[in-house]
Structure 1
């Protein structure tokens, strides 16, 4: 069934798009592209089909790509932008959280515990887009092409976790600085572990819980070890597509306009696909809420945060997460964030003196 779903998605991506009417004006390109994780839906349903099928089809064969997921070439999330900058790839897809440790301005797009629903997630990424675009150009020599999400990021735990108090003393896998701040503010111990290494870490007790998206947790088989899906909303994992600026600057104006148009359609499609699979990720991990369309369901206990849990989230967000990030980012950065994402989320980061 999974193969047929992927085939249908790819057919829709290609068949639903009208070929560019001025293909003769496009540059002839074969781009080196790296995507996100090859075993997850963003690559299988969005990134892979876009570069391997949609882009060649709508460009009349003018723009093709040697596109592979980062897992196939053996690189880690934090290495993606470094390799894009030096020209190993022409285009890179990656998660902002993985570069947050060295770039607090970019980190601001996806601070843990801030965004709590899909509407705010998209509005906040759009509002912060000019800031991210300027930062990518300045720091990484790249042109931002798209911003899109992974499914909502929640906690999956091997020991029983039924409320926020149960996180006290638990070792929780994180992949971004603000996630570590949130976990520590909740009384847990943050541990940074690569995505591919989380399952054995849970098995061996190196980690008690892990934070990831609802469907990625299922696709990575966390349900074989974790017992509780604690749906405490950490965020939506801002994900980017960016092109090496030297590659971008060589393109003709017509090709630039074409690429930007196609990347906007890619972004819209990625949002729709990811939002649609978010609830299914919970169903597949827990067996609750219907039939898992992806395969055998897990049997984690589904735990919804209480109003009291959410009150703790808000307090930790204000007292720990935003304060620590503000110190990392500086006054001007914080002012920009408060005027964009902070306004959408109804929270305010303290401006450092």
Structure 2
């Protein structure tokens, strides 16, 4: 019988093509991504969404991106969700999620960093230990660490920090609660979406957030005094489920690490540049260009105020956090002293 070599060659070619296609499909990794809250448009629409859309264009990745509020995820649940693999990548508000492990709040304890440059030093000092703890405790890989911006107070009837005595101040992390208590105020825990009405109705006299976030939420409509004292910097991160990370090839891991570092840089740039404009807009300066302009009073913050914050941080914030953290992770304060403490000059001594 005469063999039809042309048909055989065609059949082999088709088989090989299908095999290659099947292999490529098998190697494609699906990433279910939960981003920041949709109201943070500069971060979500300006950085996150384009970033993950670009990743989705890769032949080896299939990325599904949604904002946290679009799918009803609570920020405080992020670490548990990433640990279980409910999602592959999550944008995490670390101060809120740290209730599951206080060690993570150590990257952004209230009162420790006086400005963004110092906060950058804190992040770099603790990054390796942060990643190590994240992998061990929550089965997650650290991809980014970046600040939302300086967390400052929008108040009513405040001419100086001394006027915070007996004021009700909205906060959102444990260490921030202890710092405002040390300044004489009473901390009130509220979801961001609840703050406008709380300020309007007097449930809270002040509220803490980044200048751009407060401007976007129209807090200057219901407050009259802007207090430019950074209490913390609302450090955020992007984490990947460790099982998902380990399924990636070495090349994929290297490429994604580089890509996420570039996104991290963009987020740091927003924290520095956009919030400066928001401050100008909150107090009605002519240089205001990217936010709604208001006419809040700018409260004067002198050197003595910073000294007072440092004292409260050393005496009330750090020891309480250290005890809470050591109860779960006995090496916690030692790790913090060797990293953040070395970078900032603070030390936690519980003896």
TM category, shorter: 0.7 to 0.9
User: Residue in 2 aligned with 1:8?
Assistant: none
SS in 2 for 1:232: coil
Question: Cα deviations across residues 239-272 of structure 1 (Å, max 9, x unaligned)?
Answer: 1100111211211222112211111111122212
Q: CA offset at residue 349 of structure 1?
A: 1.9
Q: Which has the larger radius of gyration?
A: 2
Does residue 328 in structure 1 map to residue 327 in structure 2? Answer: no
Corresponding residue number in structure 2 for 1:254: 251
Aligned to 1:39: 39
Structure 1 residue 162 displacement after superposition = 2.0
Q: What is the CA-CA distance between 1:55 and the residue it aligns to?
A: 2.1
Shift of 1:115: 0.4
**CA separation in 2, counterparts of 1:38 and 1:283?**
24
SS in 2 for 1:66: strand
| Partner residue of 1:204 out of 201, 215, 219 | 201
Q: Does structure 1 conserve the Cα–Cα contact (< 8 Å) formed by 2:278 and 2:288?
A: no
- Compare 238-247 and 95-104 and name the one that shifted more: 95-104
Asked whether the equivalents of residues 32 and 90 of structure 1 are also in contact (C-alpha less than 8 Å), the reply is yes
- For 2:251 and 2:208, the matched residues in 1 are separated by 42
Gaps of 5+ in 1: 1-23
SS in 2 for 1:89: coil
Alignment correspondent of 1:14 = none
Contact (CA 8 Å) 1:27, 1:251: kept in 2 or not? no
Do the aligned partners of 1:34 and 1:67 also contact (CA within 8 Å) in 2? yes
TM-score by length of 1: 0.87
Q: Distance in 2 between matches of 1:161 and 1:303?
A: 8
Query: Among residues 309, 312, 323, which one is paired with 1:313 in the alignment?
Result: 309
1 CA distance for matches of 2:295 and 2:78? 35
Structure 1 vs Structure 2 CA RMSD: 1.9
Task: Give the corresponding residue for 2:161.
Answer: 164
SS of 1:340's equivalent in the other structure is helix
From 99, 115, 125, the equivalent of 2:97 is 99
Q: Is it true that 1:194 corresponds to 2:191 in the alignment?
A: yes
- Which residue number corresponds to residue 348 of structure 2? 349
8 Å CA contact 1:25–1:254 kept in 2: the answer is: no
Is 1:174–2:182 an aligned residue pair? Answer: no
C-alpha separation in 2, matches of 1:48 and 1:286 = 31
Q: Deviations over 1:277-314 (max 9, x none)?
A: 120111222212512323x3122212231122112111
Q: Scaled by the length of structure 2, what TM-score is found?
A: 0.87
Partner residue in 2 for 1:49? 50
Corresponding residue for residue 230 of structure 1? 227
